[in-house]
Amino acid sequence: MKPDKPFNSFNPKGLLVGIVVAVGLLAMLTHLTEHTKNIGNISYKEFLDKVRGDQVKQVKVAGQFVEGVTKDNQKFQTVVAERPGDFDLLEKHGVDFAVSTPSMSTGSWHVFIVIGVLMLLGVISGWYLMRQMRNGGKNGGGAGGIFTIGKSKAKMFLPASIKERFSSVAGAHEAKEDLKDIVDFLKDAAKYRRLGAQITRGVLLVGEPGTGKTLLARAVAGEANCPFFSVSGSDFIEVFVGVGASRVRDLFAEARKKAPCIVFIDEIDAIGRQRGSSMGGGNEEREQTLNQLLTEMDGFETSKEPVIVLAATNRPDVLDKALIRPGRFDRQIEVPVPDLTSREEILKVHLKKVKAAPDLDVKRIARGTPGFTGADLANLVNEATVIASKKNLTEVGMYEFEEARDKIMLGTESKTMILTDHDRKMTSYHESGHALIRLLMPKDTDPLHKLTIIPRGRALGVTHFLPEREKYSRNKEELLATIAAALAGRAAEELVFNELSTGAYSDFKAATEVARSMVCLYGMTDELGKRVYLDSYDSKGGYSQKTFEKIDEEITKILNDQYAIAMQMLIDNRDKLNLLAETLLDKETMYAAEVYELLGIEPRADLRLV
C-alpha cells in the first residue's frame, strides 16, 4: 500500500555528507589506533639498560613520562623516577633528549580522542534514528526506513486493474455458486440489512495447491467491482516480536478506509496454526499475529461498509479453532481438484492462446489427466507447445500432448540408457502382461490407452489406462481386477523367463495399498467385519496384536489370490501374450486400437475411435 504523502525525510546530500564524515572519523580513529599500537611499553630498568647499552637515540621527557626512539627506530614509552642523575646518564651515552613541562601525555590524549570520536558517532546515530522515527510516524513510513517494518506488505489492486471475472475461472462451479453470495452482498448490502441478515465476513477457500483459489478470490473482487488487498501469510512474520501484529493492524486500518473491499490472505496456515502446537523462538511472534487477526475480525461490526476477508489454505486441519468459529472464518468453500468436465473446460481456456491442431481431441486429453489441477493442466499445455516448437511444427497436436503428459508423469525420455536385448524383452513381456490382463478383466475397469517400453525417468516401460469417466467410488470386483493387473507384470516374467526382477517394485507397492484399503478402510473381508482399522495395533488403534496379524494375513491372501488368477489367465492366453510382447518389442509403443486389432479383441464401444 502506498502512503498518502511521500517520505520526505530521505536526503541524498545529507546521506553523502554523513558517509564522508563517518569515513573521516573512522580514518582518524584508525590512525590514532595504529600510532598507539606502534609504541611499546618498557619498564624503568629496561630503559636504563638500553641507555647504558648505547641503544637509545632520542627521548622526550615530560615529568616522569618518557617517550623515546632506539637506534633501530623502535618507539617506546615508560615512566621513570624523578632522579637528576638520569640526565647525566643520558648525556654520557650521547642520547638526544628534550625536557617539557609535565602535562597530559600523548597516550592519554589518544584515549580521550578515541572516546570523543565514539561519543560523537553515537550522538549522530541517535539523532538520525530519532528523526527517522518522527518522520515515519507522520508520513506513514517510507520505503527502506527501519521504522516502516510494522507497515503492511499487502498489495492493493483498484477495481479498474482487476480483469478477472467468474467467467475467467473454468470449472469450480460449486465454489463459484457459494461465492456469488459474497459478491451480491458487496454490491447491495442494504438488501440484506433491511431484514437483519448478517453476511459472513470471513470465507476460507480450501483446496490442493494449483486448484485456483487465488484466481477465485480475484474473480470475486472483479465481480463486486471493489478494491482488492492481497497478502501472503508469511508476509506478516518477522524475527522481531510484535511486527506481525502491527502489520495486521495496519492492513485492516487501510482496508476500512477503502471499504467496501476484499482482503485476501494466501497460505493463512503460516499464521493461523493452532496456538501452543509448536516450539521455537518464532512461536510467540506467530501467536501474537494470530491474536491480532482474531481481534481485527471481531471488530468488523464497527465498520459502516463491509470488509470481506478471503483466505486460502491447503491445510485446514492445522488451523486454530478460534479462527474458524462463527463470526470469523465460518464459511469454508472447497475448491476441488477439477473433474473430467472441469478439466476439459480448463484445457479449452488455455488452448485459446495456443495454435492447436483442428483435430485435437480435448476430451481425450482431459480423460488422460485424472488428478491434474488447473496449474498442472496449464503446465501440460505449455510443455506440449514447447515440444511442438522444438520440432518447428506449425501447430500442436495429440502426439505432442501425449509426450508432454508422459514427461510430466514419468520424466524425460532416456536416450542414453542402454538396455541389453534380454532386458528389453523382459520389459516387453512385463508391460504386455499388464495390458493383456486388463483387457481380459471385467468391463468396468479403466480401459487400456497405450503401452511402451521406451525408458522414462526411472521406469523402463509403462502401461497407461485411460478412465472412461470420473469415478467417485469403486466396487470390490474392480479393485481386485486392479490388483491382478498390477501383479500381472511379475507373473509374465516368471511364466516366460522363470526369473524374478526388481522391476515389479512399484507394482507391488500399488497393489499392496489397494489390498490394505480393502481390508482396513472399505470392510471388504468377511473375517474382519465392517469396520475401519487404523495403522497400528496399540491402545490408540483400538485393536489387538492378534487382530493386526489377521489384517496382515488377509492382505497377503488377497495379493496371493490375485497373483494366481493373473498367472492362470496368462497361461490360458499364452499365445496372445507372446504375440503382443513380440510386436511391442518391435514397435516400442502401441496404442489401444493397435492392441485390440492385433489380438482380435472387440474394443469397447466408446473406444472404437481411440
Q: How does pLDDT run across 257-282, given as a tens digit for each residue?
A: 888 888 999 888 888 888 765 544 44
Tell me which of 111-115, 339-343, 447-451, 506-510 is least confident.
111-115
Determine the average pLDDT of the residues in 497-509.
89
Tell me which of 6-15, 335-344, 535-544 is least confident.
6-15
Residue 325 vs residue 108, higher pLDDT = 325
Tell me which of 19-28, 153-162, 284-293, 438-447 is least confident.
19-28
By the 10 Å C-beta count (0-12 exposed, 13-18 middle, 19+ buried), 203 is classed as: buried
Query: Which one of 144-148, 175-179, 325-329 scores highest in mean pLDDT?
Result: 175-179
* pLDDT number for residue 556: 94
pLDDT tens by residue, 293-307:
888 887 554 556 778
Is the Cβ–Cβ distance between 398 and 357 less than 8 Å?
yes
**The C-alpha cell that represents 305 in the structure block:** 461498509
Is the Cβ–Cβ distance between 515 and 559 less than 8 Å?
yes
Only one residue has cell 474473480, namely 219
CA dist., res. 396 & res. 400, Å (int): 6
Contacts of 69 (CB under 8 A, 6+ apart): 56, 57, 58, 59, 75, 76
CA 106 from centroid of its chain's CA atoms: 62
Query: Which one of 182-191, 508-517, 544-553 scores highest in mean pLDDT?
Result: 508-517
pLDDT tens by residue, 195-210:
777 777 788 999 888 8
Length of the chain: 610
Residue 107 vs residue 402, higher pLDDT = 402
DSSP strand pairing (261-266 vs 40-41): unpaired
pLDDT band per the 50, 70, 90 thresholds, residue 514: very high
Does domain 340-410 fall under CATH 1.10.8.60? My reply is yes
**Is 381 a residue whose pLDDT tops 90?**
yes
DSSP strand pairing (40-41 vs 75-79): parallel
DSSP conformation class of 459: B
Contacts of 476 (CB under 8 A, 6+ apart): 518, 522, 524
pLDDT band per the 50, 70, 90 thresholds, residue 239: low
CA dist., res. 145 & res. 129, Å (int): 10
Is the Cβ–Cβ distance between 76 and 41 less than 8 Å?
yes
Per-chain mean pLDDT for the chain: 79
CA dist., res. 582 & res. 175, Å (int): 50
SS3 154: coil
Architecture of the domain defined by 155-334: 3-Layer(aba) Sandwich (3.40)
Name the helix (H) or strand (E) containing 449. strand 448-452
Determine the average pLDDT of the residues in 117-142.
59
* pLDDT number for residue 29: 60
The residue annotated as part of the active site, out of 344, 383, 400, 431, is: 431
pLDDT tens by residue, 383-437:
999 999 999 999 999 989 988 988 888 777 776 677 888 889 999 999 999 999 9
Q: Tell whether pTM > 0.85.
A: no
**Is 471 a residue whose pLDDT tops 90?**
no
**Is 469 a residue whose pLDDT tops 80?**
no
* pLDDT number for residue 144: 46
* CATH class of the domain whose range is 421-607: mainly alpha
Quick one: what percent of the chain has pLDDT higher than 70?
A: 79
Is the Cβ–Cβ distance between 607 and 447 less than 8 Å?
yes
**The C-alpha cell that represents 438 in the structure block:** 486388463
* Residue 558 φ/ψ, nearest 5 degrees: -60, -45
**The C-alpha cell that represents 458 in the structure block:** 526411472
* pLDDT number for residue 608: 40
pLDDT band per the 50, 70, 90 thresholds, residue 603: confident
Name the helix (H) or strand (E) containing 431. helix 421-440
pLDDT band per the 50, 70, 90 thresholds, residue 139: very low
**Is 73 a residue whose pLDDT tops 90?**
no
> Regarding the domain delimited by 1-148, which CATH topology (the fold level of the hierarchy) does it fall under?
3.30.720
Domain boundaries, the chain: 1-148, 155-334, 340-410, 421-607
Question: What separation in angstroms does the CA of 398 have from each of 269, 355, 467, 473?
Answer: 40, 12, 17, 30
CA 385 from centroid of its chain's CA atoms: 26
Tell me which of 42-51, 90-99, 112-121, 465-474 is least confident.
112-121
Determine the average pLDDT of the residues in 485-512.
91
Residue 402 known to be catalytic: no
Tell me which of 101-105, 134-138, 177-181, 337-341 is least confident.
134-138
Considering only CA atoms, which of 318, 344, 261 is closest in space to residue 1?
261
Number of Cβ within 10 Å of residue 526's Cβ equals: 8
DSSP letters spanning 223-266? HHT--EEEEEGGGG--SSTTHHHHHHHHHHHHHHHT-SEEEEEE
E-state strands within 259-357: 261-266, 307-313, 331-334
pLDDT band per the 50, 70, 90 thresholds, residue 511: very high
Alpha-carbon Rg of the chain, whole angstroms? 40
**Is 151 a residue whose pLDDT tops 80?**
no
Is the Cβ–Cβ distance between 432 and 584 less than 8 Å?
yes
Determine the average pLDDT of the residues in 9-23.
57
Number of Cβ within 10 Å of residue 479's Cβ equals: 19
